[in-house]
Amino acid sequence: MAQIKNRLTPFFENITFDREDNELVLNFGPQHPSAHGQLRLMLHLQQEQIVKAHPDVGYLHRGMEKMAENMIYNEFMPTTDRMDYIASSSNNYGFALAVEKLIGLEVPRRAKVIRMMLLEINRLMSHLFWLATTALDIGAMTVFLFAFREREYLMDIIEGYCGARLTHAAIRIGGVPLDIQDGFIHQLRSFLNKLPQNIKDYEDLLDTNRIWLMRMEEVGTISKDMALSWGCSGPMLRASGFKWDIRKEEPYELYDEVEFNVPWSDKGDNFARYRIYMQEMRESAKILYQTIEMYERCVKEGQTDLMAHSPKYISAPKLDIMTQNYSLMQHFVLVTQGMRPPVGEVYVATESPKGELGFYINSQGGPYPYRLKLRAPSFWHTGILTDLIPGHYIPDVVSIIGTTNIVFGEVDR
């Protein structure tokens, strides 16, 4: 087919070819394999060294906050999957928790345990994905293959639970839709039993690897002040000398009942972040072992509820809907019109694998949120590149973007 003539002229708005100061402007992205999404970085170079970095985002902007204002609360749940699509249950959970706080719901214990299992499996999936892609960017292909193999097992478990591998929508406002399937615990246990050896394999390949150390140590150092000022959270904050994990400090679900450590470091460089991710995988495994025990105790004690009982906001169980007139009416109203949370506002922060994932909801008593603000950690972890990259060299950009663990579904929302 012949080329259709159009008006898009070659576009060099940022590139000045003749400059007194000998500065070269390099466009990194928006399509770049190591940018982990649609990140455009405009890098001003003097020789090989970067003197100015200007991240440009918005290539994946879908207007989720706008969509939320035009959807009933339950309708928005699958949209949250598309934020951090590497660990989508954690987004579902953040939103569900915010709405539950708004209407003051208490979730049944068994649902809480299942939610914690899902959250920690998501954290493991996300960290394995992080390790795989970052190692691949730096050239460690073997680690990529190993980590993706393990992630595959976790995705199989999740697929057995909710039918989806990436966009789970596995959590509902008020609980979880389903009990875990037969074989879930066996599969999870056998995965967890193998995991320490797997993590050791990765570490054997990386920890003393000369190339890995050269690319990681003393590269991309974030000072304490910078981490605070840029609103860093999650591993980015913990690598810079703050022992701050929302699961520990402002516990939600049953995180105050499980035992786990919060790995942190005061180095602030790429290697510190790498160590924290590895350590967090071990802590997640520890939490998962404990949730299995909690789940088995729930089964023994005969706690079968998976959704909160709150006829004003939450549909009754399917059995009731099918057999009882009033439950059916309630369900009909909740599906067609949507729940109407009380008038007020709430900001709820949860510890997603990437950092502090916050949902601010302003409700005016209608079935649609009046304003919903998504506080995605990656947004500021991208912004910090402005201050972090100058002074480094081009190859360091790749490893810095890798360890910031940004996901563009979340940056652009």
Judged by the rule CB under 8 A, the positions of this chain that interact with another protein are 6-8, 57-58, 61, 63, 65-67, 69-71, 101-102, 104, 150, 153, 156, 187, 190-191, 193-194, 226, 228-231, 242, 244, 249-250, 337-338, 340-349, 356, 358, 360, 362-368, 370-371, 373, 375, 379-380, 383-384, 386-387, 412
Cα dihedral: 189, 280, 83, 226 (round 10): 180
The distance of closest approach from Cβ of residue 160 to another protein in the complex, given in angstroms and rounded to an integer, is 9
Tokens of 176: 């979880």
Residue closer to another protein by CB (options 49, 362) is 362
The distance of closest approach from Cβ of residue 237 to another protein in the complex, given in angstroms and rounded to an integer, is 9
Residue closer to another protein by CB (options 110, 151) is 151
Residue closer to another protein by CB (options 93, 313) is 313
The distance of closest approach from Cβ of residue 222 to another protein in the complex, given in angstroms and rounded to an integer, is 12
The distance of closest approach from Cβ of residue 215 to another protein in the complex, given in angstroms and rounded to an integer, is 26
Q: Show contacts of 164-170: CB within 8 Å, 24+ apart.
A: 166/81, 166/85, 166/86, 166/88, 167/78, 167/81, 167/82, 167/85, 167/88, 168/81, 168/88, 168/89, 168/92, 168/118, 168/122, 169/77, 169/78, 169/81, 169/88, 169/92, 170/89, 170/92, 170/118
Q: How many CB atoms lie within 10 A of CB 126?
A: 26
Residue closer to another protein by CB (options 113, 384) is 384
| End-to-end C-alpha distance for the chain, whole angstroms | 36
The distance of closest approach from Cβ of residue 304 to another protein in the complex, given in angstroms and rounded to an integer, is 27
Q: What's the CA gap between 144 and 124, in Å, rounded?
A: 15
Q: How many CB atoms lie within 10 A of CB 318?
A: 11
What is the amino acid identity at position 376?
A
Q: Which helix (H) or strand (E) holds 375?
A: strand 371-375
- Please provide residue 300's backbone torsions phi and psi, each rounded to the nearest 5 degrees: -65, -40
The distance of closest approach from Cβ of residue 125 to another protein in the complex, given in angstroms and rounded to an integer, is 14
Residue closer to another protein by CB (options 353, 358) is 358
Residue closer to another protein by CB (options 271, 359) is 359
Q: What's the CA gap between 413 and 369, in Å, rounded?
A: 17
The distance of closest approach from Cβ of residue 263 to another protein in the complex, given in angstroms and rounded to an integer, is 17
Residue closer to another protein by CB (options 24, 333) is 333
